[in-house]
């Protein structure tokens, strides 16, 4: 866009006041410690998929508090709350998914 053109906007925020922050991290299997490729990682309205090494990078609008979530079929998803600083990126995040076959997976709910 040209400097005189309209600024990008995010719902609920003034176009001139959008602050983007980076969230990077890795999605791993809690039992084995192995990276999980192809996990959906979400932060606010932004989502990406983890790479072959389990890594991800999100660039998202800054909020005072939000959650990063990771999900993949065959696993119990993970959620991590993050709080923003005034000038720092959210930083590096490690999300550990539990395989449904794991001894650490909770038992199924009654009736399921």
Q: Would you tell me how many other CB atoms lie within 10 Å of the CB of residue 21?
A: 20
For residue 33, what are the contacts with CB-CB under 8 A and spacing of at least 6? none
Q: For 35, which DSSP code?
A: B
Distance between CA 19 and CA 39 in Å, rounded? Answer: 26
Q: Do 56 and 90 form a contact (C-beta atoms < 8 A)?
A: no
Rounded mean pLDDT, 97-111: 73
Would you list the domain boundaries of the chain? 18-99
Higher pLDDT, 86 or 80: 80
Comparing CA positions, the residue from 44, 9, 32, 25 lying closest to residue 103 is 32
Phi-psi region of 30 (alpha: psi -120 to 50; beta: other; left: phi over 0): alpha
CB 43 within 8 A of CB 58: yes
Q: Determine the average pLDDT of the residues in 91-107.
A: 80
Q: Which CATH number fits domain 18-99: 1.20.58.1880, 2.130.10.30, 2.60.40.1120, 3.40.50.300?
A: 2.60.40.1120
Does position 69 have pLDDT exceeding 70, yes or no? yes
Statement: residue 81 has pLDDT above 50? yes
Query: In this predicted model, what pLDDT tens digit does every residue of 20-66 receive, in sequence order?
Result: 777 789 999 999 999 999 999 998 788 999 999 999 998 877 665 67
């Amino acid at each position: 866009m040209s400097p005189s053109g309209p600024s990008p906007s995010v719902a609920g925020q003034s176009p001139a006041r959008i602050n983007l922050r980076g969230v990077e991290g890795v999605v791993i299997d809690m039992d084995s410690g192995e990276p999980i490729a192809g996990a959906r990682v979400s932060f606010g309205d932004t989502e990406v998929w983890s790479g072959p090494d389990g890594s991800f990078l999100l660039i998202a609008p800054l909020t005072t508090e939000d959650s990063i979530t990771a999900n993949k079929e065959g696993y119990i998803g993970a959620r991590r709350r993050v709080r923003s600083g005034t000038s720092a990126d959210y930083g590096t995040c490690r999300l550990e998914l539990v395989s449904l076959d794991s001894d650490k997976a909770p038992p199924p709910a009654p009736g399921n």
